[in-house]
Structure 1
């Protein structure tokens, strides 16, 4: 940052500001709501206001590590001299604190700028400069930059296009403050990591094993009731079992269409889709043959689940419309 030219003084610098200056200070980016930190995520997080300046109406103040951010809200028109002086004095006291070294002036909220506000900012800058700190100006419009160059204030203040870039260059943020500012991002990241680990490491449902157990139990129940139940009772039983079987079949078919099914599910689909109803039909001449197929496919599914080769069919099974040959 270039020093003020020799022969000039604070009064010389401020004197041109005694004339009213009406300029557009802000860029309309609302960067005043950004956070104060050295990383992008921290810089975009709103920091808590200082208690002693929480009632300020002209100068909004935030502290970011060792840097004080002052955001004028416009001109001092409508404020009494006492009110302006009170806010300026409060900021001066904060700048005297140990640990506060630099100043960033954010002009994003300043839609109208006059000599009183500019004079106050210059005095703040002189105070920080006397403490060997850095003074940065952020979000100034082209018109404001022209005024600053005319008054030679660009030699006193470092110019940055945004609050974020100014803080990245000027501020030193303690680790605890950075972590606190990024707490929402950290929580979101932990949730994403937890979900990813759950997807990768959490045991996936073994639908082949689950559906084998349920279908095998339904088959045992059917065999126990087939010769003992009356016709109406048997039909009610068949409807209940098919109501349980249908959702499992549809799910396995969807998994088959997506290529996610297992070999055990392939045998269970054959049972539920092609042979279940026919095997339990009391008056069908081929019911016994379909029953043999169901039992064979249950043994095949069980073998696959236990990592054994499926047992071969020991004899032909005539199903009427086709024959399943031995060894298949």
Structure 2
């Protein structure tokens, strides 16, 4: 597959994947991105135009999608509305992008007989109790709790139906929480890092007991590339790096690593329906495809991430004031 179409390739996880593909393969990439507030062409600026072509457009635009899919060997589908807080306040865009957009892509790959990989989230499984010894596996039942996770669950089911009913050559991956470069400052880790850099106290939802299973975006990228190249058609693979940390621990770790007192943060109003714990069992990916994460030590990956935000203020600063103003209105 020397020609890849990457949807959402100007967003956080998608742009990291495009960087990874350019660095580790000879593939040529066409990025299709609507450039909503979370998409940023600057995330691709350092990549060679001889390898990466950018197209601004909507994955729900059937005519545009048809032509781009026809010209590609494979499609990697990252494009999605992803922020839980936004989905709770304005759910309609999540239905349009995550459901209608995925349907539009599936119809195009069905028509042209192309390889398709669908990037999803562990949030489709709902959450786990803090003292639950289990982790999510590929056979865990779906139990989404927000407009975001429910529309991602719907998109997963569409992919499975198109594999079974139409023979589409597709795979799915569900990944745990990502962190790393090019992540919008509305998200948990970059918000805390950039707050500290601007002399603002970090914010912690509730008591901060909620647990997330963190993975560096470059490790997510390497896993998706492995699945694209070697995964079995019709299979789902969970991607994780054994990075379980509660939010309080993460905030305190960021503060300490940036030379601040560990308690120099504010507790704010918790999110509605805030899932308690996510945890991924990536045994299938490791056993079947031989994948291993590079950033097995969360603190090492976090240190690299802090350095990136410290060195790239020109990338994130334009969105910072509006993001903090939005959260201030919510008391968060």
Q: Structure with the greater relative contact order (CA < 8 A, sep ≥ 6): 1 or 2?
A: 2
Do Structure 1 and Structure 2 share a fold, with TM-score over 0.5?
A: no
TM-score range, shorter chain: under 0.3
In terms of fraction of residues, the more strand-rich structure is 2
Compare CA radii of gyration and give the structure with the larger one: 1
Higher helix share: 1
TM-score after normalising by structure 2: 0.26
